[in-house]
Amino acid sequence: MAANITLEKLRKAQILDAAVQMISANGSHNVTLDDVAKAAELSKGGVAYYFSSKDELFREAFLDLFGRIFDRSMTTMAQFDDPLEKVLSFGWLFNDHEAMIRDIGYPLMFDAMVLAMRDEMYRKIIHDWIEGWITLLKEALDLGVDQGRFQVDDTEKAARAISSIYHGFAIRWYLDRPNHSTAWAREHCRVSIKRYLGC
């Protein structure tokens, strides 16, 4: 029984990885279940065994990737004791040399944002993901307030503002890298956040 559960987990992960790869390379509107099945080296029926529809598969693929990025963000933030460095720890998201971020993470994020314009399911995915980032930032800000490092009246509002700063720099960096380098994004994002916090 345990072997079957492990095999099912592996197959499902294989399908999700293939979906993420295909969506990031081609966009969700240009990917079919057949495409994902071929990329996963399975039959269409093999994919349908785990996912009843393209919508279900793609939703799970977005959630899987966003979850992996979020987990890495939590791990990166946990490496710092200083609350300011915790808040500033997301600079790794501006990374030209990491395919997971450059070639997969950003294309999927933009794809999900486009889908969210007209699809409530994707709007909720984006909403929940943003709320996760805000929760992480708020925890770091609360720590800084408790330590007397930050003079912030409302840490949730501040977390939303800082999340928006990161988001703005990420979009500019990703879509116009010739004029907005990784060094520019990291430096000016840090400066903007520190100024916002009065540090």
For the chain, give the number of residues: 199
> Where does the chain have alpha helices with state H?
2-26, 33-40, 44-50, 54-78, 83-87, 99, 106-116, 120-146, 155-175, 182-197
Report the CATH number that the domain containing residue 80 is assigned in CATH. 1.10.357.10
CA–CA separation, 13 vs 151, rounded Å?
A: 44
- Domain range for 106 is 54-197
State phi, psi for 152 to the nearest 5 degrees.
-120, 125
Quick check: is 14 in a domain?
no
Quick check: is 3 in a domain?
no
Q: How many domains does the chain have?
A: 1
Section 36-49 average pLDDT: 90
pLDDT of 3 reads 58
Residue 7 predicted with pLDDT over 90: no
Residue 33 predicted with pLDDT over 70: yes
Higher pLDDT, residue 5 or 90: 90
Higher pLDDT, residue 54 or 1: 54
Quick check: is 129 in a domain?
yes
Question: Per residue in 73-85, pLDDT tens?
Answer: 999 999 999 999 9
pTM: 0.87
Closest CA to 28 of 3, 56, 68, 51: 56
Residue 1 predicted with pLDDT over 70: no
Q: How far is residue 149 CA from its own chain's centroid?
A: 28
Quick check: is 40 in a domain?
no
CA 11, 12, 16, 18: dihedral to nearest 10 degrees?
20
Question: Per residue in 156-195, pLDDT tens?
Answer: 999 999 999 999 999 999 999 899 999 999 999 999 999 9
Quick check: is 31 in a domain?
no
Question: Per residue in 144-163, pLDDT tens?
Answer: 999 999 989 999 999 999 99
Rg of the chain, C-alpha, whole Å:
19
- For 23-40, letters b (16+ CB in 10 Å) and e give bbeeebeebebebbbebb
Q: How confident is the model at residue 23 (pLDDT cuts 50, 70, 90)?
A: very high
CA–CA separation, 68 vs 15, rounded Å?
A: 16
Quick check: is 90 in a domain?
yes
Quick check: is 168 in a domain?
yes
Quick check: is 72 in a domain?
yes
Q: How confident is the model at residue 112 (pLDDT cuts 50, 70, 90)?
A: very high
